[in-house]
Amino acid sequence: MVNSDNLDQILGQLERATALEDLFRVVYAIRDVFEIDHAVYHWVDAKGDQYGCGTYSQAWADRYLSRNYIRVDPVIVGCFQRFHPVDWKRLDWSSKTAREFLLDAREHGVGNQGYSIPIRGPNGQFALFTANHTCDDATWAQMQEVNGRDLILVAHYMNRKALEFEPSRTPDTARQLSPREVDAMTLLAMGYSRSQVAESLSISEHTLRVYIESARFKLGALNTTHAVARAIGFGLIVV
């Protein structure tokens, strides 16, 4: 069971969050406190635009968006029809498309177990908070029994805070990149690799990812390349 002090610390971090990059830090804290492989928050607005923050690899995030997996993902499809938390094993993975999607996800580091919490917000907003791990069924069932209520609490706190940063709710969000986000986007536009950017800015690659993901969200971009292009288009960076 998660220590109550650790849970209070996570909820406190969410309450104090003032920008999207704070949420990226929180999901890593959630992953570590609950001792799972991944924690992911993924939301979709009424227009079908999707955003998210989580601990999956950047390669999987980019692939998911570029292949428009939201249309075939059994977790999204199944949870959209439900209001209660769902164990992934209870979803329909029988179609060829679903099996191919699952294989691709596993190859990109997604675990064999998942617990997703559907959340519905204003103006057609739909979100999922997911705990993901690699373990046997008995271990995963025990995790859900012990930590299920705490995960639901965290999910709804996360959604409430994320709504404050939704692009459609904040005019001219794309013009509000932080100085560090501008630096990161500029160096990427100049052809630097992620490791070179991190070294140039004297930060870790993990911290760099936080800046890049935050900028991508603000710019409404599908991936990092798209974010760089939009940043140039908005006149936010000059190369």
Q: What was the pLDDT predicted at 237?
A: 84
Percent over 90 (pLDDT), the chain = 45
Which among 37-51, 144-158, 160-174 has the top mean pLDDT? 144-158
In a domain, residue 122? The reply is: yes
Task: State the DSSP string of 63-120.
Answer: HHHHTTGGGT-HHHHHHHT-SS-EEGGGS---SHHHHHHHHHHHHTT--SEEEEEEEE
In a domain, residue 238? The reply is: no
Residues 188 and 147 in one domain: no
Q: Which of 168, 193, 216 is the last residue of a domain?
A: 168
Q: Which of 124, 151, 168 is the last residue of a domain?
A: 168
* Domain span at 60: 4-168
Residues 85 and 134 in one domain: yes
Q: How confident is the model at residue 239 (pLDDT cuts 50, 70, 90)?
A: low
Q: Domain of 14: which CATH number?
A: 3.30.450.80
In a domain, residue 90? The reply is: yes
Residues 178 and 132 in one domain: no
CA dihedral 27, 29, 35, 39 (to 10 degrees): 0
Residues 65 and 134 in one domain: yes
Give 159 or 48, the one with higher predicted confidence: 159
Residues 90 and 181 in one domain: no
Q: Which of 168, 195, 213 is the last residue of a domain?
A: 168
- Return d(Cα 46, Cα 2) in angstroms, integer: 35
Residues 8 and 109 in one domain: yes
Total number of domains in the chain: 2
Average pLDDT, the chain: 86
Residues 117 and 195 in one domain: no
Residues 79 and 186 in one domain: no
Residues 86 and 97 in one domain: yes
